[in-house]
Structure 1
Amino acid sequence: MDWASVAGLVLAIAGIFVGHTLDGGRFASLVQPAAFAIVVVGTGGAVLLQSERRAFLRGLRMLRWVFVPPRGEREKLSREIALWSLSARRDGLLSLEQYMGTRDQFIQKGLRLVIDGIQPDKLRNLLEHEINGYEFAQRQAARIWESAAGYAPTIGILGAVLGLIHVMENLSDPSRLGSGIAVAFVSTVYGVGLANLFFYPVGIKLKAIVADKVSQYEILTEVFHDIASGDHSRVVDERVASLLARH
């Protein structure tokens, strides 16, 4: 669990409500289901319209990474790299077959290319294409949250206009004016608040997580190239040091 993310979200929400209360407002006045539905559902629809279905669903699944990030495995990976290098130099490239049980598809592909004796530069080129495809797909998914941050304030203004229309339709009934005005202003609060306190920070954090994974794959690409080239173990050790230095 990433407690910094949890604390950040709690502080952001608490700041709004505490400030509202200190200014004499009531908590209940900020709880408007109609305004929330307009902003959240409207924003979700706009993002879905601009996105591919797969990217949209992947982006939703990635939300959990903000609070439960993918486990950092750099130290474990560094140990595995050392084993690959040792095994390849001592027993030949075919001995790497025993390490194919990993669940990471990129590592599986890299090991398979090395075992199959693919020419090192060709191997690097193939893995770089794999990284580009992975990065593009993941960034497209993470971008839905930044898109939501762009749409939410405008949808909030739309909710405010709808609330004012409701007010104008009920000028003859003062008892219904308060709810219409509340929806009008709270919609704007929800739109701007969700955009700047949730959607945009989530998008930025997800892109940082993706960038970190891509950096690991880039180092692994060089490791597989070095092993396939039969480079000295010292070269591989430097790759491992680079991997740990970015931790």
Structure 2
Amino acid sequence: MSHQNLWGALLLTTCLALGLFWWDQNMALVNIGALALVVGGTALAAVLSFPMSRLRQALGVAKNAYTRPSEDVGDVICSLLDLSLKSRFSGIAELSREEDRMTESYLRSGLGLLADGYGEKEIENILGNESRFFQARRSAVARVFRQMGRVAPSFGVAGSVAGLIGMLAGIGDEKSMLAAIPLALASTLYGILLQQLVFIPAAEVIENRTRDQLLVMAVIVEGLLAIKSEENPRKVERRLLSFISPAQREGTARRLAAIRQAYLDMAARRRLEMALEEDQAA
């Protein structure tokens, strides 16, 4: 989650809490029994619907989605251009030394395939399978939160029914009837709040992060295949920039120009050194 989203969430949560407190200064909406019914029922439904390994995976993915920054596709494009230029100067075999330097595991895997001499079709198939199964795993995780979002309001309604039963059972006993009313009303509210503010947003964040990561993976595959076919780095740059929006291209293009210039300077120094060596030999 970005800092802007985090601050927005905190602001809106504060406004919601203040609004409820202002409207309900006696805290009648705070009902532990209703909250336990909705949260416990939703958790039980999740346990009955999914294996524990999937639930643990869902919690881990959600935590990472909210706490870790997403991979910057511009950084990946710059890394790929750097690798393309390096392969032109030193050969593809030299790229194996760059494998440990890369922070993106998918890019490290692709560089390993390049260094091991896999063909273009093999690289495309292996990395394509990896991205497809990554998408399938993330879709399964998002389904966990969407399912919990679907059942949470149902348990809110169940709490309301339980409260109404208590009210009907307490007819003639005003104290019993009044005690059942908060459960009947608060449980529905809790179910809706959990659905709209917890479970559905979590599923959306995971799906958005998945789309971002799939874009990064597509850029990596395109770049590695271009490096394998020894395309001109300028063509590689054009191909990779086509994956991002015009707004992103401007800043990324400046960084790419700096990388190109660094290699041009390196080539100029190398030519100068070779010329000096020839003069000395003569």
Report the counterpart of residue 52 of structure 1 in structure 2.
Answer: 51
Deviation at 1:124, TM superposition (A): 0.7
Alignment RMSD: 2.4
Pairing of 1:151-162 with structure 2 (within 5 A): 151-162=151-162
**1:127-169 CA-partner distances (Å, limit 9, x unpaired):** 1110001111112112222111111111111111122233334
1:206 partnered with 2:180? no
Assess if the C-alpha contact under 8 Å between 2:149 and 2:195 holds in 1: yes
Shift of 1:13: 6.5
Q: Which amino acid aligns with 2:215?
A: S
1:94 is aligned to 2:93: yes
SS at match of 2:197: helix
Question: How far did 1:245 drift?
Answer: 3.2
* Percent identical residues: 23
Change in Cα spacing, 1:154 to 1:206, as seen in structure 2 (3 Å) is: same
Amino acid at match of 1:136: A
CA distance in structure 2 between the aligned counterparts of 1:27 and 1:222, rounded to whole angstroms: 61
2:241 is matched with 241
**1:20 Cα shift?**
7.3
1:1-247 matched pairs, under 5 angstroms: 2-8=3-9, 10-11=11-12, 14-15=15-16, 18=19, 21-22=22-23, 25-26=24-25, 28-65=27-64, 67-101=66-100, 102-171=102-171, 173-245=173-245
**Structure 1 gaps, min length 5:** none
Q: What letter corresponds to residue 4 of structure 1 in structure 2?
A: N
TM-score (norm 2): 0.77
Report how far residue 88 of structure 1 moved. Answer: 1.4
Gapped runs of 5+ residues in structure 2?
249-282
Letter in 1 for 2:180: G
Q: Distance in 2 between matches of 1:67 and 1:116?
A: 36
- Looking at structure 2, the residues matched to 33 and 6 of structure 1 have their Cα atoms a distance apart, in angstroms, of 28
| Cα distance per residue 1:9-62 (max 9 Å; x no partner) | 64256347616744xx33511111111111112112212322233332222123
Q: Which moved more, 1:151-160 or 1:70-79?
A: 70-79
Structure 1 residues 48, 133: closer, same or farther in 2, change over 3 A? same
CA distance, structure 2, for counterparts of residue 64 and residue 3 of structure 1? 18
| Structure possessing the higher radius of gyration over alpha carbons | 2
45-54 or 166-175, which deviates more: 166-175
Larger deviation: 105-114 or 68-77? 68-77
Please, which moves more after superposition, 186-195 or 42-51? 42-51
Residue 271 of structure 2: aligned partner: none
Q: 1:27 to 1:111 in 2, by over 3 A?
A: farther
**Counterpart Cα distance in 2 of 1:74 and 1:245:** 11
Q: Deviations over 1:53-75 (max 9, x none)?
A: 33322221233355434244333
SS at match of 1:164: helix
User: Residues 78-132 of structure 1: CA distance to partner in whole angstroms, max 9, x if unpaired?
Assistant: 2321221122122222111111113433112111111111110221111111000
- How big is the shift at 1:237? 0.7
Shift, 1:233, TM fit: 1.2
Structure 1 residues 172 and 66: alpha-carbon distance in aligned structure 2, compared to 1, 3 A threshold: farther
Q: Is the 8 A contact 1:148 1:195 kept in 2?
A: yes
Partners of 1:122 and 1:53 lie apart in 2 by 35
